[in-house]
Amino acid sequence: MSRATFLLSLALVLACAAPAQAVEPFIQLEDVLNSMAPAPQEAPQQQAPAPQAPVPQPPAPQKANGPVYMDQELAREHERFSQFAREQMRRMNATMLGGKNSMQVYKDGRGYRASYKAIDVDGIVCQVRRAESNPNYFVGVVIYKERIMENAAPTAEACRRGEFEPVSEKSSRIIYSSKLGGGWQ
């Protein structure tokens, strides 16, 4: 029997003899060789302590942009959904709400006032979970704030060009679902 075959057999025996919780997913050949090396000789009255198996460390979680409790597939869907949601909010700003393109300017007692609605795209919150009916599908929720932005100035043109401040905001949410083959709708 060759040395490599002997070491492999020994590694299998050690793996089967150890409790299930203490077995590492992969046994390193160096660990087996080190455990087989003769202990340095000491005085005859002292016995060398029995070698202790290294305590296995749980695998390090892979870095993802989502919360730690998510599995890899869910974290990947969270990332995809976040990109999709930001793009959807930008489209809503441009088409449905109109943003600065749909600004309303009106005269009040002291001058002019301009206002428009806008979604705070940088402040959106995305949540993704598996669908209860089928864990292969996902449900995504976008929580966003729709703000009314205003500016006051003595002239209408100065009012359009000035600094706008939020005067009110309303929280809203939209629920999306994943479709077969990937993507969100």
Contact of 185 with 177, CB cutoff 8 Å:
yes
pTM for this structure? 0.56
- Look at residue 176 in the predicted model and tell me its pLDDT: 92
**pLDDT above 70 coverage of the chain, percent:** 61
- Look at residue 89 in the predicted model and tell me its pLDDT: 92
Average pLDDT over residues 137-145: 93
3-state secondary structure of 12: helix
Of the candidate ranges 15-19, 43-47, 153-157, the one whose mean pLDDT is the lowest: 15-19
Contact of 173 with 144, CB cutoff 8 Å:
yes
30-45: pLDDT as tens digits? 454 455 555 555 555 5
158-167: pLDDT as tens digits? 888 888 999 9
**Strand locations in the chain, DSSP E?**
104-108, 111-119, 125-130, 138-153, 165-177
- Look at residue 28 in the predicted model and tell me its pLDDT: 46
Contact of 119 with 132, CB cutoff 8 Å:
no
- Angle, helices 29-36/3-17, rounded to nearest 10 degrees: 90
**Distances from the Cα of 44 to the Cα of 40, 47, 48, 49, 179, angstroms:** 12, 7, 10, 13, 73
48-85: pLDDT as tens digits? 566 666 665 555 444 445 455 558 888 888 999 999 99
Average pLDDT over residues 150-162: 88
